[in-house]
Amino acid sequence: MTSSVVLPLLAVGLVVAVGVHAVLVWPAPLVLSGRQHNSPTLWAGLVLAPIAIALLVVAALLLPAPLGACHCAAHAPHHPHLCWVHPQLAAPLTMPAALFLSSWALLVAPRLWRVVADARRTARWARNASEQMVSVDGVPVWLATCGSPIAVSVGAFQPRIVFDRELWSRLNDEERRAIVHHEHAHVLRGDGFTLLALRLAAALYLLPGALRCIEEWRAAVELACDRHASSAVGDPLAVASTLLSVERACQVSTHAHAHGVLAARPGALLESRVRALLEPERYRAAGLVNDLLLVGCALCSAAFLVLVWPSDGVHHGVETLIGWAFH
């Protein structure tokens, strides 16, 4: 396959991603906020949906008939269209696609760099801050002098729990266990890596809707980790009491904001978290499966339907739109 097909395919994928974001993701927080806030997989799926749908459309164009042949006969060469068998038919689309992708790349590159830089800074801070490792119920915890009383799970690829020494000394054993099991739930779920993936996806759209969905995802994740902590400790009231103790010790730390962009903050959304712990019957049991894995399973099912069953329609529809644009 030559670049005459690759560049137009990428341009089509980008247009689809931004369009799906504008139609589906942008209004989602207004419609769903407060109703599905206990489903982090839903919010993660919404952030990733534009990219997933764009990839499915591109795959449908690459494989217009997985069990058949190419469709050039159905789209006579009176207008440009995409075909991996006859790439010369896509040649008129190459230059517009290259200009479009170049403009988009210039706008997106600073956003992507900020996300990568935040991830590197977070990992570096976690390594440098860690001074002593202790074990709580078999969970490794790094004590550190953070400059403010915080406890966070930090890192995307090698997450660790960092606990400020000052906060550690203020809490009793039960409160320490509650916080550690909450942060350990973030580690088990792989929330650091998920957050990195969601932030990278959001940077591609150049629209704010995905960022609001990420905030909703973080709120839902905090509730899930609280439920795991209450199960591990055996007392939801103890976890709620611990949240209040931490909040009294300090408001959300400015140090965590500066260095812990991939960290879970125990003081966030305090009221809703305490209410959830006091009314546990309203919420289902906490799941520790990574949200990206759950979203991936759903996408595999969607891919089968799109590529095997209606892919002809997707292929014809996109090429028809291209034909209208060039007439």
Same domain, 300 and 279: no
Same domain, 38 and 76: yes
Same domain, 59 and 181: no
Same domain, 216 and 244: yes
Strands 151-154 and 160-164, bridge-based pairing: antiparallel
pLDDT given for residue 315 in this prediction:
64
Same domain, 264 and 184: yes
Same domain, 280 and 312: no
Same domain, 123 and 102: no
- The residues, ordered by sequence, that sit 6+ positions from 241 with a Cβ below 8 Å of its Cβ are 175
Same domain, 207 and 256: yes
Q: Are the C-beta atoms of 105 and 26 separated by less than 8 Å? A: no
Same domain, 23 and 102: yes
pLDDT given for residue 269 in this prediction:
73
Same domain, 151 and 80: no
Number of domains in the chain: 2
Same domain, 100 and 141: no
Cα separation of 112 and 52, whole Å? 18
Segments forming the whole domain that contains residue 105: 3-112+292-325
Which residue's entry shows tokens 């799941």?
A: 287
Same domain, 256 and 316: no
Digitized pLDDT (tens) for each residue of the chain, 327 residues in all: 565 778 888 888 888 888 888 888 877 777 776 554 568 888 898 899 888 888 887 877 776 555 455 555 555 555 566 766 667 777 777 888 889 899 999 999 999 999 999 888 888 888 888 788 899 889 999 998 887 788 888 888 888 899 988 889 888 999 999 999 999 999 999 999 999 999 999 998 887 888 888 988 988 888 889 888 988 888 888 888 888 888 777 654 444 433 333 444 444 577 788 888 887 655 555 568 888 888 888 877 777 766 665 556 666 666 666 666 655
pTM: 0.82
